[in-house]
C-alpha cells in the first residue's frame, strides 16, 4: 500500500468501522448498532456507534473520529512537540458481553499528524477475561501473532511486552487481563514503510471481529450463575479503574476537548467495588487473580 493522505486514512478507517459493525451484528444475531454523529467545536468530529438489544453483547461501542485544530499545550508539553496544528483519526472499540464467560475486548487503531511533518501510528488489541482460560488466551495470542508476523517478525514479541506494561493497573499490582499487543508512535521513514504500517493497522482491525466472534460463539454457551455474575461486576470495576486512571487514550481525548460521551463509551453498564474482597482458595476466581501478571508466555501456556 502506498502512502496515503490524512484525509484518505480517515476514509479508510471509517470504512473499517462499517465492516466491524456489520460483522459484530452478524455474530450477535439480534443486536444492532445505533449511530450518533457529532462535531468537535475546535475542529472535526466523528461517528459513535453503540450496540443495543444484543443476545450476547450487553453493551458495546465502535467509534470513529477525525479531529483537528491547534494542538493543546498540555499535549505539546507532554509529548515534547513543537507548536503546530494536529490531525488525529482512528477507530476505537470496547465490548462488554452479558455472560461472564465471554471476555471483554478492546481494540484501537489511530493515526496522528501535525502540520510540521510529525506523524505516527498507534494501536493495539487486548483481551480482558472475567475468567482466565489458558486455551482461550493461547488462541487469542496465536491469532494476534499471525497478523504481526505478516509484517515484521519482531512485532509480536515487542508489542506483547509493551501491552503487558501498558495494560497494567499499577495501584492494584495486576494486569487488566491477558494482554495482547500495544504500539505507539510508529513513524515511517519512507512511503513504503508508511504503507506497511497502515496495512498492519488494518489487518489488526480485520482480525478483531474474527477472533472475538470465535469467543462470542463458543463462550456464550458456557453455563454460569450469580457467583459468576458477581465476579464479572468486580472485574468490570477493575476495567473502569484502568480506563479512568491510566488509559492514555482517555486522557488524550479529554485533553483535546473531545466528546465526553464518546470517550467514556468504554464504561461497562454495571460494575461493583467490594471492600477487601478475597477470592476463595482453589476457585476459578483465584486462578484468574493469580494469572493477572506481566510476562506470561500465553503461546506456550498449558
Q: Which residues are catalytic?
A: 106
- Dihedrals phi, psi of 226, to nearest 5 degrees: -65, -35
State the DSSP string of 87-129: EEEEEEEEEEESSTTSPEEEEEEEEEEETTS-EEEEEEEEEE-
Grid cell at residue 301: 501456556
Q: How far apart are the first and last CA of the chain?
A: 39
Grid cell at residue 83: 507548536
State the DSSP string of 12-68: HHHHHHHHHHHHHHHHHSS-EEEEEEEE-TTSEEEEEEEEES-SSEEEEEEEEEEEE
Residue appearing with cell numbers 515511517 = 188
Residue 300 carries which DSSP code? G
Residue appearing with cell numbers 472475538 = 212
What value does the CA radius of gyration of the chain take, rounded to a whole number of Å? 19
From CA 201, how far away is CA 55, in angstroms rounded? 29
From CA 221, how far away is CA 24, in angstroms rounded? 17
Residue appearing with cell numbers 510540521 = 116
Amino acid at each position: 500500500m502506498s502512502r496515503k493522505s490524512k484525509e484518505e486514512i480517515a476514509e479508510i478507517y471509517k470504512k473499517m468501522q462499517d465492516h466491524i459493525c456489520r460483522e459484530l451484528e452478524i455474530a450477535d444475531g439480534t443486536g444492532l448498532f445505533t449511530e450518533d454523529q457529532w462535531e468537535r467545536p475546535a475542529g472535526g468530529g466523528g461517528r459513535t456507534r453503540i450496540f443495543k438489544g444484543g443476545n450476547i453483547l450487553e453493551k458495546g461501542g465502535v467509534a470513529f473520529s477525525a479531529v483537528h485544530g491547534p494542538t493543546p499545550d498540555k499535549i505539546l508539553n507532554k509529548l515534547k512537540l513543537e507548536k503546530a496544528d494536529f490531525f488525529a483519526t482512528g477507530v476505537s472499540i470496547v465490548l462488554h458481553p452479558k455472560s461472564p464467560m465471554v471476555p471483554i475486548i478492546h481494540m484501537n487503531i489511530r493515526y496522528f499528524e501535525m502540520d510540521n511533518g510529525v506523524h505516527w501510528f498507534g494501536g493495539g488489541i487486548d483481551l480482558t477475561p472475567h475468567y482466565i482460560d489458558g486455551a482461550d488466551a493461547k488462541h487469542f495470542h496465536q491469532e494476534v501473532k499471525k497478523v504481526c508476523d505478516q509484517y515484521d517478525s519482531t512485532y509480536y514479541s515487542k508489542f506483547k511486552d509493551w501491552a503487558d506494561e501498558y495494560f497494567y493497573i499499577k495501584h492494584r499490582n495486576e494486569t487488566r487481563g491477558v494482554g495482547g499487543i500495544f504500539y505507539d508512535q510508529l513513524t515511517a521513514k519512507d512511503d513504503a514503510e508508511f504503507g506497511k504500517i497502515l496495512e498492519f493497522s488494518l489487518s489488526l482491525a480485520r482480525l478483531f471481529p474474527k477472533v472475538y466472534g470465535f469467543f462470542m460463539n463458543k463462550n456464550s454457551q458456557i453455563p454460569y450463575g450469580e457467583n459468576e455474575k458477581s465476579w464479572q461486576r468486580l472485574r468490570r470495576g477493575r476495567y473502569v479503574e484502568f480506563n479512568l486512571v491510566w488509559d492514555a487514550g482517555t486522557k488524550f481525548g479529554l485533553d483535546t476537548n473531545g466528546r465526553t460521551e464518546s470517550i467514556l463509551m468504554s464504561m461497562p453498564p454495571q460494575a461493583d467495588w467490594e471492600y477487601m474482597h478475597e477470592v476463595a482458595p482453589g476457585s476459578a476466581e483465584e486462578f484468574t487473580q493469580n494469572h493477572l501478571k506481566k510476562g506470561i508466555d500465553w503461546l506456550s501456556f498449558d
